[in-house]
Structure 1
Amino acid sequence: MRNEVKEIKISYCERLGTIESESIQMSEPVAKLLYENWNKDTIGLHETFKVLLLNNANKVKGVYQASSGGLTGTLVDIRILFAVILKSLSTTIILAHNHPAGTLSPSEADIQITKRIQKAAALFDIRVLDHLIISPTGDYFSFMDNNII
């Protein structure tokens, strides 16, 4: 019997210059950036959960779509989410999802997933700066601005 183990390779390739990007400090420019990069054909159709990946200077490294769901919810696999966060060597993240119906109030499920992600992030010294809910019109709700984070 042979004891062979498959080798796992992980890679990260930064194509856009993070160093040249602006530092993110407030929720409004983050919401605008996310909305501008959201698929307008689906933002009012189904929920999508994304994470904005940042470096230690709060400069955007990229955005990752963690899940896409139904009309009233989407499931986020925290293990896959953190595989991407760790693979990209991000030290700070901003969570975001859309509410297709346009309501901006967070649900109890929204609050709970945020707490679970914050708890996991703390184990890796990763900061969760905010969680934004984006509407199909570009309006938003910030967990940080409303003292939920």
Structure 2
Amino acid sequence: MKTKVSEIKIAYRSRVKLSEAPKIKSSATAADVLYSNWDKDEIEVSESFKLLLLNNNNRVKGIFEVSRGGITYTLVDLRLIFGVILKSLSTAVILCHNHPSGTLLPSNPDKDLTRKIKNAAGLFDIKVLDHLILTPGGDYYSFADNGML
């Protein structure tokens, strides 16, 4: 008798030609791509954590929302982050979350989470290029630009 188990399928579908995808050259470019793709009706209502997934040439493969929370925080599961990065065959990532309050400075939990993700990414040879905090008005804070990465 054969034991039945569920099949696991992993898929990534590109919807944009890679040659036409934005190339990330700076934190400003990354912030612009993320902000222009953020739901403006949600950015000042609830905090979300997203991944900007990149190939080895820093071309954008896609954006993935890891979590959406309340007004002051959102829970982030590292297993989900790395499942998405590995599934999409991304070699680099830019972390991003919004502060609905408009505060640009990172909190201690923001710093701890960034450190934790960066350390784990090193095990997979995945580059964490930056962690951006976006505000409803489009301003941003870059961990990399501020020597925190």
TM-score (norm 1): 0.96
Counterpart amino acid of residue 66 in structure 2: A
> 1:49, CA displacement in angstroms?
0.3
> 1:119, CA displacement in angstroms?
1.0
Counterpart amino acid of residue 122 in structure 1: G
| 1:37 maps onto 2:58 in alignment | no
Question: Counterpart in 1 of 2:80?
Answer: 80
Counterpart amino acid of residue 44 in structure 2: G
Question: Counterpart in 1 of 2:70?
Answer: 70
Q: SS of the residue aligned with 2:34?
A: helix
Cα deviation 1:25-78 (Å, max 9, x = unaligned): 100111111111111111011100000000000000000000001111101111
1:19, 1:111 → 2: CA distance? Answer: 34
Q: SS of the residue aligned with 1:117?
A: helix
Counterpart amino acid of residue 21 in structure 2: S
> 1:5, CA displacement in angstroms?
3.2
Counterpart amino acid of residue 38 in structure 1: W
Counterpart amino acid of residue 15 in structure 1: R
Counterpart amino acid of residue 39 in structure 1: D
Counterpart amino acid of residue 14 in structure 1: S
Pairing of 1:115-130 with structure 2 (within 5 A): 115-130=115-130
Pairing of 1:1-149 with structure 2 (within 5 A): 2-149=2-149
Q: SS of the residue aligned with 1:19?
A: helix
1:34, 1:72 → 2: CA distance? Answer: 20
> 1:15, CA displacement in angstroms?
1.2
- Aligned residues, how many? 149
Q: Which runs of 4+ in 1 moved over 3 A?
A: 1-5
Identity value in percent: 56
1:76, 1:22 → 2: CA distance? Answer: 26
CA RMSD of aligned residues (A): 1.1
Counterpart amino acid of residue 44 in structure 1: E
Q: SS of the residue aligned with 1:121?
A: helix
